[in-house]
Amino acid sequence: MEFQEKYIDLISERLGGKVLFTTDDFFAEKENLIKKGRGIFIADKYTDRGKWMDGWESRRKRTAGHDWCVIQLATPGKIKGFDIDTNHFLGNHPPHASVEAIYLNEDISRNSQEEFDKLEWKEILEKSPLDPGSQHLFECKDGGVYNYVRLHIYPDGGVARFRVYGEVEKNWSAINEDETLDLAAAINGAKAITCNDMFFSSKDNLIMPGKGVNMGDGWETKRNRIPNNRDWIIVRLAHQGTIDKIMVDTHHFKGNYPDTCSMEACHADNDSDVMNGNVEWTEILEKQKLSAHAEHNFKPNSNAQKPITHIRMFIYPDGGVSRLRLWGKIL
């Protein structure tokens, strides 16, 4: 399903999602649900409670009912789809799962099980079958805005990872027209929509919060032997705006950073026109020299003061960039 590529994971730990509560995580901690990757398996690793598993796993239920957990989204959003991944859970996966959601203005992180149960949750994924050791992609057509979800498993068992894909719903009317913010930040609603290469690490890393934790936490292309090559990535801004400052961070990239970079911008009503080449690109940053393991701050030219919805960054000839920040104002 295309929502994996089109939308962001609203509960990602990297983005700021938090697992608040579970009825049971005896064998494997609830926090694993929203970590990167699909989870790993170490055959001979055990804890004092049993087999170590990289996911959320409850004990075998000997009473009535089923297990569930509550997760706070990193930011309010419209949910488009789910991935309930039972990777490595083969004889201990839940046969079924469902998802509920709610929007609340108050903090519920300290709620008890009884208090969570009293909330007016709305089911946005009906009880659906799960297979062992598999990714399960489900579409969500609800259309509401939510900031908490509750994952139910029936009756018990283990889930390696849970993804909630969707669109950030930011209250742009609350942003002052003179306020400067990062228009390329995923937490604000920006999205890396395409690139020509991401052999070593994903384009999505480029606009994540914070500093990259290692060389794998950035966007890195393969070594290209074609003369005069340039690799590129296109980012849809969180909101139409102007750009006052550009930051390109090569943190952790020491022997594989790009030699130089440049940037273009365009204005488009949708991503399809951009990806199909039906837009006019204008240079906002001429070629700039980059160095290893460093933040580079650039001032774009006057073209960056026109309305912009998408940018295309070129790196020459190839290599890795940890983070991109585009500080500007919305229009």
Q: Where does 58-95 show beta strands of DSSP type E? A: 67-85
- Max Cα-Cα span within the chain: 68
Question: Is the Cβ–Cβ distance between 325 and 182 less than 8 Å?
Answer: yes
Compute CA distances 50 → 34, 44, 95, 128, 220, whole Å. Answer: 22, 11, 21, 28, 38
pLDDT band for position 3 (50/70/90)? confident
pLDDT(213) > 70: yes
Q: 302: helix, coil or strand?
A: helix
Give tens-digit pLDDT for 253-283: 999 999 999 999 999 999 999 999 999 999 9
Q: What is d(CA 311, CA 284) in angstroms, rounded to the nearest whole number?
A: 9
Torsions phi, psi for 269 (to 5 deg):
-85, -20
Contacts of 316 (CB under 8 A, 6+ apart): 229, 230, 258, 259, 260, 261, 262, 287
Whole-number pLDDT of residue 202: 95
Question: What are the chain's domains?
Answer: 3-168 (2.60.120.260), 176-330 (2.60.120.260)
pLDDT(187) > 60: yes
Q: What is d(CA 183, CA 126) in angstroms, rounded to the nearest whole number?
A: 36
Q: Is the peptide bond before 317 cis (omega within 30 degrees of 0)?
A: yes
Amino acid at position 64, single letter: A
Whole-number pLDDT of residue 313: 98
Length of the chain (residues): 331
Give tens-digit pLDDT for 125-183: 999 999 999 999 999 999 999 999 999 999 999 999 999 999 999 999 999 989 999 99
pLDDT band for position 4 (50/70/90)? confident
Contacts of 44 (CB under 8 A, 6+ apart): none
Amino acid at position 65, single letter: G
Task: Over range 10-22, report the average pLDDT.
Answer: 97
Task: Over range 201-212, report the average pLDDT.
Answer: 96
Q: What is d(CA 133, CA 126) in angstroms, rounded to the nearest whole number?
A: 21
The structure tokens 């903090």 sit at 107
Question: Is the Cβ–Cβ distance between 300 and 243 less than 8 Å?
Answer: yes
Q: What is d(CA 290, CA 129) in angstroms, rounded to the nearest whole number?
A: 50
Smallest Cα–Cα separation from 27: which of 121, 112, 116, 93? 93
The structure tokens 């939308």 sit at 7
The structure tokens 């052999």 sit at 199
- 197-232 burial string, b = 16+ CB within 10 Å, else e? bbebbbbbbbbbeeebeebebbbbbeebeeeeebbb
pTM of structure: 0.93
Whole-number pLDDT of residue 275: 95
pLDDT(25) > 60: yes
pLDDT(1) > 60: no
Whole-number pLDDT of residue 49: 93
Smallest Cα–Cα separation from 194: which of 113, 269, 124, 277? 277
Q: What is d(CA 215, CA 293) in angstroms, rounded to the nearest whole number?
A: 10
